[in-house]
A and B are shown apart, each in its own frame.
Chain A
């Protein structure tokens, strides 16, 4: 039963990821990415990472993708124009997809071929906010503070960059 659910989820994920990459309209591409991120959050729940799943929806699907949609609508972008001649386009796309498939095969053989054995037993409260927070504020407090600084830069930077002229 869980296997069937995972296979359906994986098929939907690959389908929506392909829609992101293939669809000519950027708005539909962005919505396909939202669907992908939502399905990925479901996969995280399958892996018992509940807090990361909730954060995925709050941060990625609920904030970053809204930002993408805003920019696409602000710039009023239509379908993507194809400038290359059809024959050149077919060649380039063909090579790119072949290389992508090769990359996928190499990566899959690399990560999935390694003998992993049974997963270790999850500690009490695995996936809840308490365990992650404890780790975050003791072992990883320096990266945490640096991430805060980075986000401050990310708030000020775009305001300056996107300002209209002088």
Chain B
């Protein structure tokens, strides 16, 4: 029994490390990638080791200096703010986002010493519902973050942010319903396994071939859920100072920014699992390569597992980079246009998609 507990703990640790490290890497990509897009150099002022090293660490300096700065800043709580809620709000913003990743599979199975380990932190049979549940809890970080500080800019940002999040949750859920109907199960590992087949033996049957509309809905709703550009009016840099987390300094602000990047990773992870075959590598099955033309190349089990985990990480990273690219390309939506898009466009399109998918599923089955 203790071996099982140890394995579960190791999986949970691996997932949390994946999210946190990917967030750190995304900070790098954001800083330097945005500089590349905007034709400037980017953050290059920090020099952590001074003259100790013969070479310059470049952006690593900023990645070391930023957390140190945030950790050592004074924790300011505005007068009249609710101290308990001010303390709790950053935690409520971060917790649901990181925990969502527990249901997302990052590999097939690992067979070690006669023991078969599912490479998924929590093997839930209602995985998709769990993801939706955690993303609906993320609203509390925003709402309490704005309310706790007793400041009107924060409250404006919080009200906008929470209204936006709950509106797009509906479109997100309906888009996922269409994807669930196609695969016939709520279990994310089963959905990942169902994308292993190949069309005409050549084209990998990933979810995006079945449900392109649902993928677009997930992407747009995911942008709105994580309050990133083009939907970042609640954060509204240059309009609301920093929106709902204006009055937070030091580690609390770091927690809010971490929740931003972690949500990017979560949206990418969800899109990868449902629409891009999760950990599936084209033509790779559990025992080896089944290439078109009948060629079979056997592979040792650990190599297969390593390839699958690497494929998952690469796909998630690619989608994260795409989200960062969109951030620095598109202008911001005005708030009433944003709500219009969520209620008057995404919701009817998602509903129509559900109806069409249902008809097709019944006719084909």
Tell me the A residues contacting B by CB distance below 8 Å.
27-28, 31, 34, 38, 50-51, 54-55, 57-58, 61-63, 66, 69-70, 73, 125, 127-129
Contact call A58/B143, Cβ cutoff below 8 A: no
**Contact partners of B85 in chain A: CB under 8 A:** 27-28, 31
Q: Which residue of A lies closest to B131 (CB)?
A: A54
Contact call A58/B132, Cβ cutoff below 8 A: yes
Q: Is B126 in contact with chain A by the CB < 8 A criterion?
A: yes
Contact call A54/B84, Cβ cutoff below 8 A: no
Contact call B126/A50, Cβ cutoff below 8 A: yes
Contact call B136/A54, Cβ cutoff below 8 A: no
Q: List 19 A-B contacts (CB under 8 A).
A: A27-B147, A28-B84, A28-B85, A50-B126, A51-B126, A54-B126, A54-B132, A57-B134, A58-B133, A62-B137, A62-B139, A63-B136, A66-B140, A66-B162, A69-B140, A73-B143, A127-B125, A128-B125, A129-B126
Smallest beta-carbon distance A37→chain B, Å: 10
| Interface of B, helix, strand, loop or mixed by DSSP | helix
The answer for the CA separation of A69 and B129 in the assembled complex, in Å, is: 23
Q: Is B192 in contact with chain A by the CB < 8 A criterion?
A: no
Q: Which residue of A lies closest to B84 (CB)?
A: A28
The answer for the CA separation of A51 and B129 in the assembled complex, in Å, is: 8
Question: Binary interface profile of B, 286-317, with partner A (CB < 8 Å = 1, else 0)?
Answer: 00000000000000000000000000000000
**Selected contact of A54 from candidates B82, B133, B144, B166, CB within 8 Å:** B133
The answer for the CA separation of A129 and B130 in the assembled complex, in Å, is: 12
Q: A50-B124, A51-B126 are in contact. Are A62 and B133 (CB under 8 A)?
A: yes
Q: Which residue of B lies closest to A72 (CB)?
A: B147
Contact call A31/B133, Cβ cutoff below 8 A: no
In B81-135, the 8 Å CB interface with A consists of: 82, 84-85, 88, 124-126, 129-130, 132-134
The answer for the CA separation of A53 and B215 in the assembled complex, in Å, is: 27
Contact call A62/B136, Cβ cutoff below 8 A: yes
Q: Which 8 A-B pairs have the closest CB atoms?
A: A62-B136, A54-B129, A57-B133, A58-B133, A50-B126, A128-B125, A54-B133, A54-B126
* Residues of B in contact with A, size category: 20 to 34
Q: A50-B124, A70-B162 are in contact. Are A58 and B129 (CB under 8 A)?
A: yes
Smallest beta-carbon distance A47→chain B, Å: 14
Smallest beta-carbon distance B329→chain A, Å: 32
Smallest beta-carbon distance B293→chain A, Å: 39
The answer for the CA separation of A55 and B124 in the assembled complex, in Å, is: 14
The answer for the CA separation of A155 and B155 in the assembled complex, in Å, is: 25
Q: Which residue of B lies closest to A28 (CB)?
A: B84
**Contact partners of A129 in chain B: CB under 8 A:** 126, 129, 186
The answer for the CA separation of A128 and B319 in the assembled complex, in Å, is: 31
The answer for the CA separation of A129 and B181 in the assembled complex, in Å, is: 13
Contact call B132/A61, Cβ cutoff below 8 A: no
The answer for the CA separation of A127 and B130 in the assembled complex, in Å, is: 14
Smallest beta-carbon distance A125→chain B, Å: 8
Q: A27-B147, A70-B162 are in contact. Are A57 and B137 (CB under 8 A)?
A: yes
Q: Assuming A62-B133, A69-B140, what are 12 further A-B pairs, CB within 8 angstroms?
A: A27-B85, A31-B88, A50-B125, A54-B132, A57-B136, A62-B136, A66-B139, A66-B166, A73-B143, A73-B147, A73-B159, A129-B186
The answer for the CA separation of A55 and B88 in the assembled complex, in Å, is: 24
The answer for the CA separation of A50 and B103 in the assembled complex, in Å, is: 13
**Contact partners of A66 in chain B: CB under 8 A:** 136, 139-140, 143, 162, 166
The answer for the CA separation of A50 and B122 in the assembled complex, in Å, is: 13
Contact call B143/A69, Cβ cutoff below 8 A: yes
Q: Which residue of A lies closest to B180 (CB)?
A: A129
The answer for the CA separation of A73 and B162 in the assembled complex, in Å, is: 12
Q: Which residue of A lies closest to B146 (CB)?
A: A73
Smallest beta-carbon distance A82→chain B, Å: 20
Contact call B137/A128, Cβ cutoff below 8 A: no
The answer for the CA separation of A66 and B144 in the assembled complex, in Å, is: 10
Smallest beta-carbon distance A26→chain B, Å: 12
Contact call A54/B130, Cβ cutoff below 8 A: yes
Contact call A61/B137, Cβ cutoff below 8 A: yes
Q: Which residue of A lies closest to B143 (CB)?
A: A69
The answer for the CA separation of A69 and B165 in the assembled complex, in Å, is: 15
**Contact partners of B84 in chain A: CB under 8 A:** 28
The answer for the CA separation of A122 and B166 in the assembled complex, in Å, is: 36
Question: Binary interface profile of B, 154-189, with partner A (CB < 8 Å = 1, else 0)?
Answer: 010001001000100000000000000000001000
**Contact partners of A55 in chain B: CB under 8 A:** 129
**Contact partners of B139 in chain A: CB under 8 A:** 62, 66
**Contact partners of A51 in chain B: CB under 8 A:** 126, 129
In B269-301, the 8 Å CB interface with A consists of: none
